[in-house]
Amino acid sequence: MSGHSKWANIKHKKQANDKVRGLAFSKLSRVITLAVIEGGGMTDPAHNFKLRLIIEKARALNMPKENIARAIEKGSGPNKALLKEVVYEGFAPHGISLIIEASSDNPTRTYSEVRNCLEQHGGKLGSQGSVSYLFEKCGMIKFDKDKVKEEDTLAFAEGMGASDIDSDEETYTVYFPFGNLGKVKDHVGALPSHPAEVDYKAQSLISIPVENIKSVIAAIDALEALDDVHTVFSNIDIPDAFTL
């Protein structure tokens, strides 16, 4: 199992907590609204690809339909929210690099909150380009091993021009060019899958002493607890034996 998959699985298990799920719904609502705004007010997922992706993720997490509808409404019409996407680059403790995605109606406030949060946890905010070269922006999709055969996963990966495949005890994770996200529906066919997502995949992972990993995770958790932040990507290598 790669460290990238290990961290993804840790986050998935943490989201089972009701309090965290409520927070996830709040953040998903903001991203749905943002997708409508960036799509020029287009509320039909069939004609707004980014909106379709995030709605699929919301449904997979059992987000109520009325929440999704309210979030879509906030992105259109005369009273639409004034959100914009912002991406920050920074460093967690022990030299771990971070890509931080947020949506904000006040980028100056969000910048200050992210900077202060990192500094409080032994990290620091970097300038644009300081760590992005260490990551590849790509598409990502997961298949459960008990539902999809390895050969079918490999065939899908080949059709999508995949750059990498991770495998752990439960899932196959396929990484493919960002520009091919719109082709997922055609290539996945009837294969049961998790919703496709945008991912920043670290080109190489950084190993640190096990006793330092928790402080990095604490910094990431604190960032993701901020209202405006919805996703944090890192290049930390989480060993298989690590547990929270």
Q: Within 10 A of 163 (CB to CB), how many other CB atoms are there?
A: 14
Compute the mean pLDDT over every residue in the chain, rounded to the nearest whole number.
89
Stretch 110-132: mean pLDDT, rounded?
Answer: 97
Q: How confident is the model at residue 241 (pLDDT cuts 50, 70, 90)?
A: confident
Collapse the DSSP code of 103 into the 3-class scheme (helix H, G, I; strand E, B; otherwise coil) and give the result.
Answer: strand
The predicted model gives 219-243 an average pLDDT of: 89
Choice among 22-31, 42-51, 126-135, 144-153 with the minimum mean pLDDT: 22-31
* CA distance linking residue 16 with residue 93, whole number of Å: 27
| pLDDT tier, 14 (very low <50, low <70, confident <90, very high otherwise) | low
For residue 142, the cross-strand partners are 173
Topology of domain 3-74 in CATH is Arc Repressor Mutant, subunit A (1.10.10)
Q: 7 pLDDT band (50/70/90 cuts)?
A: low
Q: What is the pLDDT of residue 79?
A: 77
In 50-157, the DSSP E strands lie at 84-91, 97-104, 124-125, 135-144
Model pLDDT, residue 16: 53
**Model pLDDT for residues 157-201, shown as the tens digit of each residue:** 999 999 899 888 889 999 999 999 989 988 998 899 999 999 999
Domain chopping of the chain, boundaries = 3-74
Report, as an integer, the average pLDDT of 65-92.
Answer: 91
Confidence of residue 4 (pLDDT cuts 50, 70, 90): low
Calpha distance 231→218 (Å, rounded): 14
Q: What is the DSSP string of 6-46?
A: HHHHHHHHHTTSHHHHHHHHHHHHHHHHHHHHHTTT---GG
Amino acid letter at 73?
Answer: E
What's the burial of 147, exposed, middle or buried (CB within 10 Å: 0-12/13-18/19+)? Answer: exposed
Cα 232–chain centre separation = 7
Query: What is the arithmetic mean of pLDDT over 16-42?
Result: 82
Residues 6+ apart with CB under 8 A from 17: none
CA distance linking residue 52 with residue 195, whole number of Å: 10
Our measurement of the distance from residue 225's CA atom to the centroid of its chain's CA atoms, rounded to an integer in Å, reads 14
| pLDDT tens readout for residues 79-108 | 788 899 999 999 999 999 999 999 999 999
Most confident of 21-30, 36-45, 110-119: 110-119
What is the pLDDT, as a whole number, of residue 78?
79
